[in-house]
A = this chain, B = another copy of it.
Amino acid sequence: MVTTPMITRIQAGKRMSQVVVHGNTAYLAGQVAVDIGADISVQTAQVLEKIDRLLAAAGTDKSRLLSVTVFLTDIRSFAEMNAVWDSWVPADASPARATIQARLANPAYRVEMQAIAALP
C-alpha cells in the first residue's frame, strides 16, 4: 500500500502560496526583502529573516534546509550576500546552493531566494 503525503499550504494566496508542504518536504516561494530601497546586505538579512519565519510556520528551521537558489540582480554583490549568508547558515548543516544573476520582478529588489527544506 502506498501512502499519499498530505499537501499543506502556508500563507496561501490566490496567486501563490509562500510555503507548500508535501509529506516531509517544504517548498518556499521566492523570498524578497521588505525594504526594497535597502542595500544588498540589509535585503539579504531581510530575506533570510523571512525564510526563518516561513520555516518556523512549517514546523522546521534553517538546520533542515535542503537546497537554496539565490538570484542576485547584480552578481558583483556575491561577496556581500555571502557575508550575511555565512553568519546565518548553520555551519554544520548547510544546504546545497546555486547562485546566479537575474533581473527580478521589481528592479529595486537586489536578491531573491528560493528554498526547499525538510520537516523534522
Residues of A at the B interface (CB closer than 8 Å) are 2, 4-5, 7, 9, 12-20, 22-25, 27-30, 64-69, 71, 75, 78, 82, 85-86, 89, 91-105, 112, 114, 116, 118-120
Contact = CB atoms under 8 A, between A and B. Distances in A.
A14 B94 contact: yes
B98 A13 contact: no
Contacts of A71: 98, 100
Copies of this chain in the oligomer = 3
Contacts of A7: 64, 66, 93, 118
Question: Which of A12, A20, A99 has the most chain B CB atoms closer than 10 A to its own CB?
Answer: A20
Contact of A20 (B23, B66, B92, B98): B66
Given A29-B97, A97-B30, A15 B82 contact: yes
